[in-house]
Structure 1
Amino acid sequence: MASNKKFNIWDFLASVKLAVFLLIILAITSIAGTIIPQNASYEEYLHNYGETFTRIIDVLELYDMYHSWWFIFLLALFTLNLIVCSLKRLKPLLQQIKNPKKILDNELEKSISLIDVIKKRGNVDVWKEELKKILNPKFGLPYEEVSQQNVYLYYDKGKYSRLGVYITHFSILFILIGGMIGAIWGFRGFINLPEGSATNQVIFRGGKEPYKMDFFIKCDKFSLGYYPNGMVKEYRSDVTIIENGREVKKFAMRVNHPLSYKNLTFYQSSYGVMDRKAKMRVFIKFGKNAGKSYEIEVTDKPVNIPFTGDFVKVFDHYQNLDNLGPAIILEVSEGGRMPVRFPVFKNLPEKDLNPNSNYFFKYQDYNETYYTGLQVTKDPGVWIVWFGCFMMMVGLYYSFFVIRKRLWLRLSFDGEKTVIAIAGQSTRTRVFEEEFARIVQQIKDVKI
């Protein structure tokens, strides 16, 4: 017989199976977002993946996956699933915390494994106060109830520890909500800023319209720091924020030292050379002009060697090449032959490393003009994410380090002695067993 059970949206959203399914899908898509370069140009995708797969990337917005509508939808559905799951299971738990079983009766005795009975001389009232002296410093103030025959004490230490899981759940919600706010209303862009220039536009990969800031950022100076072997140690951008024609802030930006201004964060991301200029002296070795020399300025574009049909350009520069000091890599096009590249060392002015050439070059001076590459981010949800992280630390602390410990005591008088029935329970039974045994022994050792 076919089932007539109706679809229940609440049960669907509260399903653990849905949560597992969404986590698997989010994990798989996150792997795809890691493998596929984000915010690259259309031509780059076409070159790397071909026309068919590039169309798929374009349709599914895999070029900016974490801001795509379907990824945000998955996050929103997972967030809703987590809210419903938590609310469905939280209400019964709060009822258990609010109204625990406080009286040690026969039914409760049968369900608890840690239990002992002690008989001591003295009346019930005296032993009640004595037990409080022993247990109050460790477990706090007890719930107390007195009947015609018995006195009941109930201790509940760390009763909110079971909420640690739900605090952790809600912390994940805050992180997800903050991430969605950042994905919808935030962005990540780039600025390539030459020394001495300013801009108010943030560029996006993928052909999106630039974001126009209501202020300008200017690169006053870009500088590199080097290790003794010539490797780049750090790069730094001295920038100025200009708003309404006034300089409002100066900042020295380095890697891991970002600049924040008006909800935007600027990170030192990269750098490059805009222009190379080398002051060289070129000597003619052979021919009718042999022995003559000329001072020329060589750039990164071919420059004519005076009174010849040959050309030279700066290909690269090293601060300390092979531990021999600064060196310019020249590229010489000579006599219609293939260009030849070779170094010219500042500290070896007489060293000719291109002996087959008609020209000999001496290093006199070198200057580079750099651009600084800045990554610009706007994330209005970042503080919600940080709050979620703080909540997660609190939730994990309560879950792993706060242990719920419960003690039930029933005191009665049998005509000669006070009978103390004591029972204990904890979320960490094995850990609590030793403490329970010590408490029982401590009570047994007391003499009145």
Structure 2
Amino acid sequence: MDQINIFIDKIYNFLKSLTLAVVLLSLIAFFSAIGTIASNVKFLKDLGLDNVYYSKWFLLLIVLFVINLVLCTLSMIPSTKALFSPKAPNKIFKSKRKDTKTHLINLLKSKKLYIQQKDDLIAAYRYPVRKFAVYGIHLGIFIVAFGALVGSIWGFRGIMEIPQNEASNIVVTRNNYLSLPFSVYNKNFTVSFYHNKDIPSEYKTTGYIIDSTQKIPFSTTVNHPFIHKGIWFYQASYQLNPHDSFIILNVNNSRVQLYLHKPVSIDNAQFYLANLSYYNSKPIALLYVELPQGSASGWIKLGDSANLGPINIVFEQAKESYITILSVAKDPGSNIVIVGFIIMIASSMLIFFKFRRRVYKVEQI
């Protein structure tokens, strides 16, 4: 029985130790930072660290930290309680007055001190709330950790891929997918480029939320999300829709409509549109052409022409249709986390107040 009690005490002392708190805090901070950048780093993404906030082992770290915090806080209560239980006096107050105790109490209260009485002892405290700052900080950390748990258990993060003029309610997460109780309709997606460059300067999705009989308009660009029913939608990226994106070529005075990744044969030649992009603010197409005498490939700009033996090609028109890619996230614990941080900051401010304690023993002479 004694060995069991010793073993339990060792576990209890380990769980409430400052060493464990530092280790857990360091691990949580490290993996939180990794989780923030993992989606942009391939080898971290391959390890599954882009979904770290919703992993079971990350939840375990938070649970262990909460247990450590609670036990650490509970172990501090006896010393705090003793501090506010007057015992050994450190000052003697002598007076000839019959109402010596009442006189001392009134004197201390006039200095705006907090007073406690026990028998012939009177304790006076200046800024006693200072001693509860650590409890407030612990409470704030506990609320932040609880909010993180709520977000990890009941929240999610994923993407939606919605072609133009279509609606979807499917969010694809790392290992699964889920259906939203409403749909997002992509009415229009536009992308603009820097002048004389093929680098996009902005891409924007406009549309509306289809929720029951309601149609709620929205517009989103990078770093400008919209929110519906606690779910955040961010403009993440885009890609060409191969089913609706095409170019029109004039091949020996015959017009050919060529879709992405769909080869077309004309005049003993096969044409294949591999890519459609922009250069100097103009559409450019990556073409592959198979001829009886050989093959050719290369980029051609809108309005340009090329001769391939007996075949003359003119790039007359381009129509791009895009699939917008939205990053979708729900974190029901975010407001809880904010409350926790507010409590932590407010409690930290109490540290600037200087705590003083005097215990008087009253003697009538």
Question: TM class by shorter-chain length?
Answer: 0.7 to 0.9
Partners of 1:271 and 1:100 in 2: CA distance: 72
> Which residue number corresponds to residue 253 of structure 2?
293
Partners of 2:87 and 2:54 in 1: CA distance: 47
Residue 154 to residue 203, structure 1, CA distance change in 2 (3 Å): closer
Query: Which of 165, 169, 174 is matched with 2:138 structurally?
Result: 169
Residue 250 to residue 394, structure 1, CA distance change in 2 (3 Å): same
One-letter amino acid of the structure 1 residue matched with residue 347 of structure 2: G
Question: How far has the Cα of 1:165 moved from its partner?
Answer: 3.1
Question: Is it true that 1:271 corresponds to 2:222 in the alignment?
Answer: no
**Contact 1:294–1:306, Cα closer than 8 Å, also in 2:** no
One-letter amino acid of the structure 1 residue matched with residue 56 of structure 2: W
Question: How far has the Cα of 1:296 moved from its partner?
Answer: 2.1
Deviations 1:389-420 (A, max 9, x none): 22222233333xx2316598x9xxxxxxxxxx
Question: Is it true that 1:376 corresponds to 2:343 in the alignment?
Answer: no
Which structure 2 residues correspond to residues 82-93 of structure 1 after superposition, within 5 A? Answer: 82-93=69-80
> Which residue number corresponds to residue 141 of structure 1?
112
Query: Which of 185, 190, 197 is matched with 2:159 structurally?
Result: 190
> Which residue number corresponds to residue 291 of structure 2?
335
Partners of 1:333 and 1:256 in 2: CA distance: 41
Deviations 1:176-224 (A, max 9, x none): 1111111112211221011111122222222x2x312222221111112
TM-score normalised over the length of structure 2: 0.75
**Contact 1:221–1:237, Cα closer than 8 Å, also in 2:** yes
> Which residue number corresponds to residue 104 of structure 2?
none
Larger Rg: 1
Query: Which of 399, 404, 409 is matched with 2:354 structurally?
Result: 404
Aligned CA-pair RMSD:
4.0
User: What runs of 5+ residues in structure 1 fail to find an aligned partner?
Assistant: 50-56, 107-131, 146-151, 283-291, 411-448
Partners of 2:74 and 2:200 in 1: CA distance: 54
Residue 397 to residue 224, structure 1, CA distance change in 2 (3 Å): farther
**Contact 1:344–1:362, Cα closer than 8 Å, also in 2:** no
Partners of 2:74 and 2:61 in 1: CA distance: 20
User: What runs of 5+ residues in structure 2 fail to find an aligned partner?
Assistant: 94-106, 117-121, 361-365
Question: Is it true that 1:311 corresponds to 2:311 in the alignment?
Answer: no
Partners of 1:143 and 1:63 in 2: CA distance: 52
> Which residue number corresponds to residue 100 of structure 2?
none
Residue 36 to residue 270, structure 1, CA distance change in 2 (3 Å): closer
Question: How far has the Cα of 1:68 moved from its partner?
Answer: 3.0
Partners of 1:237 and 1:33 in 2: CA distance: 27
Partners of 1:101 and 1:371 in 2: CA distance: 76
> Which residue number corresponds to residue 13 of structure 2?
11
Question: How far has the Cα of 1:313 moved from its partner?
Answer: 1.9
SS in 2 for 1:205: coil
SS in 2 for 1:390: helix
| Percent of residue pairs identical | 26
One-letter amino acid of the structure 1 residue matched with residue 75 of structure 2: K
In proportion to residue count, which structure has more strand? 2
One-letter amino acid of the structure 1 residue matched with residue 206 of structure 2: D
One-letter amino acid of the structure 2 residue matched with residue 293 of structure 1: N
Partners of 2:123 and 2:52 in 1: CA distance: 59
Residue 227 to residue 95, structure 1, CA distance change in 2 (3 Å): farther
One-letter amino acid of the structure 1 residue matched with residue 259 of structure 2: T
Deviations 1:39-76 (A, max 9, x none): x9xxx99xx98xxxxxxx7xxx8784432333312211
Partners of 1:70 and 1:281 in 2: CA distance: 60
Partners of 1:103 and 1:237 in 2: CA distance: 72
Partners of 2:271 and 2:3 in 1: CA distance: 86
Which structure 2 residues correspond to residues 10-409 of structure 1 after superposition, within 5 A? Answer: 10-26=12-28, 64-93=51-80, 95-96=82-83, 104-105=91-92, 141-142=112-113, 156=126, 158-206=127-175, 208=176, 210-230=177-197, 231-244=199-212, 246-275=213-242, 276-282=245-251, 292-304=252-264, 306-313=266-273, 315-318=275-278, 321=279, 323=280, 325-335=281-291, 337-346=294-303, 349=304, 358-399=310-351, 402-404=352-354, 406=356
Residue 359 to residue 175, structure 1, CA distance change in 2 (3 Å): farther
Deviations 1:272-291 (A, max 9, x none): 11132222323xxxxxxxxx
**Contact 2:86–2:123, Cα closer than 8 Å, also in 1:** no
Counting matched residue pairs gives: 334
Deviations 1:96-137 (A, max 9, x none): 36869997459xxxxxxxxxxxxxxxxxxxxxxxxx9xxx8x
SS in 2 for 1:334: strand
Residue 62 to residue 365, structure 1, CA distance change in 2 (3 Å): closer
